């Protein structure tokens, strides 16, 4: 499993989190059969979502990141629970692109920069909080940094990487988030600016054998740290037959009955884990009957539900 660690400086001025997301990205690659450039794009977004989701305090909260910059990768999505377990997919997982001028995977071109990054925070009650900010570079980390600056007005450093060996096999993935707390002043900013000048990539530190705790220590050498959270996180999909049937119940009864194909059943594919669910015509008829009863009991509310 992957590991995510959070800390705060003892003076309460800087909060940071580091993750070794190698297992998460490897599992996503296995499930979706992604090419290296698609693996890098999706892996970066999954890594960022895990760190950001872990910051949510409510047990039933979730965070969704969606990037669509008009590039050939199409829309890329990652969803995290409040622990940091994530799932996601790329619209075009088989994308093949030539490396950029530096011989690196061209994630920016794959995602594109003509679009937005959408952040949805669902706390399990009330309306979810939704924010959209322009995609700045398509490199993911810079775009998430811009989101924090624009939408939350929090000075943030976000570093995310997915590393491949000489045979284009993914071998390490990780991320680092550093944020200044409201009481921080120019001294903390100056310390962080000096640190950033010499900080190696997160994946380089992971390749050198550093744990997330050690990455935090190396990244913030001028600060005394207090580790307050350490979590094992993974790629985890929560799809189920119950969720599929619940989605059907937003439809009209006649639509539910008509979902079956010539084989006499409805097939539903989960985009996050590629698992297929088959719902028989008999079960569809039962669900349609339940929906008809609901609409008879409350025709105004349920008619609106069915139209959504």
What CATH number did the domain enclosing 63 receive?
A: 3.55.30.10
Q: Closest by alpha carbon to 20, among 272, 231, 273?
A: 231
Domain-terminating residue out of 187, 209, 233? 233
Same domain, 27 and 151: yes
Q: Are residues 178 and 225 in the same domain?
A: yes
Q: % helix / strand / coil in the chain, to the nearest 5?
A: 35, 30, 35
Domain that holds residue 39: 2-233
Where is the domain boundary, 233, 259, 283? Answer: 233
Check: CB of residue 121 under 8 Å from CB of residue 147: no
Q: Tell me: do 137 and 282 sit in the same domain.
A: no
Q: How far is it, in rounded angstroms, from Cα 108 to Cα 60?
A: 33
Q: What Cα–Cα distance (Å) separates residue 173 from each residue in 93, 116, 146, 261?
A: 18, 24, 21, 42
Return the structure tokens found at 283. Answer: 């079960």
Distance CA 65, CA 109 (A): 19
**Domain check: are 55 and 198 in the same one?**
yes
Instruction: Tell me the CATH number at 270.
Output: 3.90.1280.10
What's the domain count of the chain?
2
Tens-binned pLDDT, residue by residue, of the chain (308 aa): 899 999 999 989 999 999 999 999 999 999 999 999 999 999 999 999 999 999 998 888 999 999 999 999 999 999 999 999 999 999 999 999 988 888 889 999 999 999 999 999 999 888 899 999 999 999 999 999 999 999 999 889 999 999 999 999 999 999 999 999 888 877 777 777 777 788 899 999 999 999 999 999 999 887 899 998 899 999 999 999 999 999 999 999 999 999 999 899 999 999 999 999 999 999 999 999 999 998 888 765 444 444 44
Q: How does DSSP classify residue 119?
A: E
Distances (CA, A) of 45 to 143, 226, 227, 233, 304: 10, 27, 24, 15, 35
Single residue among 202, 233, 264 that ends a domain in this structure: 233
């Amino acid at each position: 499993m992957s590991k995510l660690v959070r800390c705060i400086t003892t003076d309460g001025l800087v909060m940071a989190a580091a993750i070794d997301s190698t297992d998460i990205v490897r599992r996503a690659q296995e499930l979706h059969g992604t090419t290296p450039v698609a693996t890098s794009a999706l892996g970066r977004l999954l890594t960022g979502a895990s760190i950001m989701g872990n910051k949510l305090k409510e047990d039933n909260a979730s965070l969704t990141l969606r990037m669509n910059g008009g590039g050939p990768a199409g829309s890329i999505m990652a969803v995290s629970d409040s622990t940091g377990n994530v799932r996601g997919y790329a619209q075009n997982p088989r994308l093949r692109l030539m490396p950029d001028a530096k011989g690196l995977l061209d994630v920016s071109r794959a995602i594109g920069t003509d679009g937005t990054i959408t952040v949805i925070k669902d706390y399990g009650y009330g309306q979810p909080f939704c924010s959209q900010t322009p995609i700045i570079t398509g490199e993911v980390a810079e775009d998430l940094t811009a989101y924090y600056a624009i939408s939350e007005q929090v000075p943030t450093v976000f570093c995310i990487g997915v590393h491949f060996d000489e045979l284009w096999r993914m071998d390490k993935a990780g991320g680092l988030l550093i944020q200044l707390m409201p009481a921080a002043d120019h001294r903390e900013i100056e310390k962080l600016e000096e640190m950033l000048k010499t900080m190696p990539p997160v994946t380089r530190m992971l390749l050198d054998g550093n744990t997330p705790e050690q990455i935090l220590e190396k990244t913030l050498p001028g600060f005394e740290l207090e580790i307050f959270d350490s979590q094992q996180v993974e790629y985890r999909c929560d799809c189920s037959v119950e969720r599929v049937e619940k989605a059907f119940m937003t439809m009209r009864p006649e639509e539910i009955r008509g979902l079956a194909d010539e084989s006499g059943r409805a097939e539903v594919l989960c985009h996050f884990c590629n698992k297929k669910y088959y719902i028989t015509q008999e079960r569809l008829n039962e669900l349609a009957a339940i929906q008809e009863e609901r609409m008879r009991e409350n025709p105004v509310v349920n008619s609106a539900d069915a139209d959504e």
